[in-house]
Structure 1
Amino acid sequence: MRCCRPPTPRPAHSSRPRSCGSSPSSCATPPRSSSATSTEPNGSASPTPSLNSSVMPTTRPSRSPRPSTAWLPPSAADPPRTPRPGRNPLTAGAPLLPRPPRLHRPYATADPGDRTTAGKGATLTTHDALHTLLTQPACSLAVFVPAGMHTAAAERRHLDALAHAGCALFEIGLAHHTAVLDGPVIQSAYRRALMRGSVLDRTLRAVEHAADLRPTVVMTYWEPVSRHGPEHLARLFAEAGATGVMVVDLPTHQAARWQAAAQSTGLRTPRLVPRHTTGTDLAHVVTGASGWLYAPASSAPTGYQGPLDIPALSGFTRRLRAASPLPVVSGVGISTPALAARVAPLVDAVVIGTPIVRALATAPDQAPVLAAAFAQALRPTTPTEDRA
């Protein structure tokens, strides 16, 4: 049997001359040369092959240094790099930005100075959809819907049904834990939305769908606006398609900042005007408002079901029209279609909140039926008082 013996390692090459015997001079390897000369009989020298021409070099030749892979800043002499096809060199690797406002829908309102956006091959008119709606001869029906009460799919179905029933304008409420101007029904709806979580995201999704159906305005308190940032929140709602945002408890010292943030995104800023507002306070409120002025039909919280002082409301709306050319909208306490019919001749739109919210919370299928009854009550059967 053969024994497998490991190979004997070969000695490393040395730079010293080789020796084949005891006499270094006789066996020393001659100097490296590609050719040697020999003397011919005639005395001429002729080249002869070197004895070491086939011997490997005894020293390793030096190598050129490997180019460095370290990044160096480009110089002016470097040729410009060609970007990869299909990629924008200015945005490659940058984080995704929010999508721009969807201006294709007929009710979207972009910057007031730019109304040439086209949809389905047609150019939109230069008239503001909200202003056009509120300056029609007949009083319009607006419906308030708190966002986040139901699942997104159910909420879309409810909005579709309300629009089909006669709603001409949507008010989408951003849920808030301290809704001091609202009654128990809307406060309960807000708590329900807060318990579901993702309040702002759900509100944006509701605004997107509502704005595809009708002009849509967001109703909110100042605390969420301050928490998220006026500029940031205004941009989000504008990108979702909102026509405007009404801050019902807007502080006087924050009004200029909010109005500037909203105006930069093309949003309207309707203002709620309390009944007792007069003089310079009234002038200050209406100066910064846009879209409409909101005249509460009652000084009580939302959900009030008592009688309304129609003559007092009539006098209040006249003062508002004398102070501003903006349309006037009324809500709060308009709890029945009969009361809506009495308020309609005084204002440009009637907002129905608590009756619809109560139906959505208890019997959602009845909400569009109720909305249709209010819409029918607003259709005049006889000539009405001039609201201009």
Structure 2
Amino acid sequence: MSLSNSTYLFFCCRRRKRAAPASTHPCWSHQGPVTTYNLLVHTRVILSVLFGLVTPLVNNEKISLANRTNIVEHCTKKYEECTKKGKKGLKYTDDDVTYDYQYPKNYNLEEIIHAVTHPSASGWIKLEGVYSEKDVEMARERVMYHTNTEFYMEKRNEKHENKDELHNNYRGMVWALINKGKIFQKMAQHPLILNISDTILGQNSQISSHAANTVLPGMKGQLPHLDYPYYRNFMPRGNPAVLDDAPPLSLQFVTLLTEFTAENGGTGVRPYSHIKPRYPDNVEDFFANAIQMTGKPGDVVIFHGAIQHCAMPNKSKNFRSGILQHMAPVYLRTFEDIRSYISDDVKVEATPELRRITAVDHPYPISKA
């Protein structure tokens, strides 16, 4: 936890009398509960901040006093929601999640495999209506809660001379989704995802990364890139073409929580670029041959892990949000160390399918010490 985040959370928590469970309490960090010693340290930090002796940083940039006040007030508001009726201010709870699934009308496993993996195919495909409106709503509200999207949208609509600071302070990525609600556990183990992953990547395919990304209006896009594990520094220097025509080492499943349009920056992909994986150093060449993914909430876009892609600028008046589920073969080291951070509560209640794709029971690596 950064200096600024710990300071604000501590300041807010000290103003509340009711306590939340340790796992959800804003004062609880990855280092455990706040001890008496830590309270003294945090108190000194707070006094320093209040008297201008320390300037908290976000993204290595200074936060104005006015913005500090806004963040503190927002944190306090969120903590009140967190303790209200034990629902964290959310419309839905884990009890509202049911493990019923729907399949898209255009679901055909053979066609999907061909579209994503065949040398003559584009390397990606969109499946319409994979998740119900209720499932999407439950997932979207939790993503919005963890990113404070409503707060930043409200601040953006106010008159500001410079919105760069607002964007710099925004945290659009939400990691460790498995621990943030049963709806994410349900969506991660959709039979469609398991069938496709196991067929293309091999039995016992696993989650390599599981996160949500939300992009505010006015935010810039990304440079085109390849996802893990197709990083340039992973390839032999003397043989950068080692993975040409090789089987996929990963798949990306993008679940749309909002509409993806050309205006709001739907993901740009370069079709057929997965066949001979190359990092898109020539940006102009990428955009000259790229297309944009578009779709409706509940759709799922699947693309080969080696396809060139990037998030595009959001030129609309609304935010764009989606879940990124990165799948990999069980023999590949994952991008996120999911086994180490999946909570004990999730493990206890996990279905056999969830335990498999999180590899919590995978026997390797073996300690021979």
Q: Is the pair's TM-score, using the shorter chain for normalization, greater than 0.5?
A: no
**Could you state the TM-score of these two structures normalised by the residue count of structure 1?**
0.22
Q: Which has the larger radius of gyration?
A: 1
Structure with the bigger RCO (C-alpha within 8 Å, sep 6+) is 2
**Could you state the TM-score of these two structures normalised by the residue count of structure 2?**
0.23
